[in-house]
A and B are shown apart, each in its own frame.
Chain A
């Protein structure tokens, strides 16, 4: 079975600083990878996804993520944090061998300090 590990359940950055949220996955085959964001009292919104095309994926709101097969990682970055980026971020993997079942990490709560 797939698993997703998000290192750091809480991350704090200053406004304007680099955002780095870590995600590692376990998979015996190349997976599909996703980052979602959840704002308070809302559902999950897709930020970006990797589906075996370019390894550097650009998403909404200035976020991007790089797929590194050798490190089994899919870390999320943003060059300059904005106050509106404060939210919960979830990494997910879809295993090609199990249809479209998603496996989610436990989430990382991002705080942006003014």
Chain B
């Protein structure tokens, strides 16, 4: 595997379910990101981890819970989601969180909340 991978690619869940999204980067990077991509809206940065520590949390509801056990893996734990949470969730990584470091994106998880 190369680059940034995400699993599952598609997920359908009810509002009472608990699920997790997984992201893995094979680039040797030290920073990882979660974004939400909704139709007709700019990508929304949700969380940033640098060297496995959370450095950014952009007012995301607590029903989204990130976890970064090491610099290669990032999870997004989901519980009691709402239909408006349906979106494409993108993971990205970069060398560090330094100025202008290119972010490399995974293919995303298409989430549908019923």
| A contact residues vs B (CB 8 Å cutoff) | 4, 9, 32, 34, 36, 41-46, 49, 51, 90, 94, 96, 99-107
Contact = CB atoms under 8 A, between A and B. Distances in A.
A4 B43 CA distance: 11
A99 B100 contact: no
Contact of A43 (B40, B45, B55, B90): B90
B105 A101 contact: no
B39 to A, nearest CB: 10
Contact of B99 (A9, A32, A41, A105): A32
B90 A44 contact: yes
27 contacts: A36-B105, A41-B107, A42-B108, A43-B92, A43-B105, A43-B107, A43-B108, A44-B92, A44-B105, A46-B102, A49-B100, A51-B100, A90-B43, A94-B99, A96-B99, A99-B97, A99-B98, A99-B99, A100-B31, A100-B98, A100-B103, A101-B45, A101-B56, A102-B45, A103-B42, A104-B42, A106-B42
B107 A100 contact: no
A46 B104 CA distance: 7
Contacts of A105: 42
Contacts of B45: 101-102
Interface string B32-57: 00000000111101001000000110
Interface string B41-85: 111010010000001100000000000000000000000000000
Main secondary structure of the interface of B (DSSP, over half): loop
Contacts of B107: 41-43
Given A43-B90, A43-B107, A100 B42 contact: no
A25 to B, nearest CB: 12
A100 B4 contact: no
A91 to B, nearest CB: 10
Contacts of A45: 105
B40 A34 contact: no
Given A43-B4, A100-B101, A4 B48 contact: no
A102 B99 contact: no
A107 B35 CA distance: 15
Contacts of B6: 43
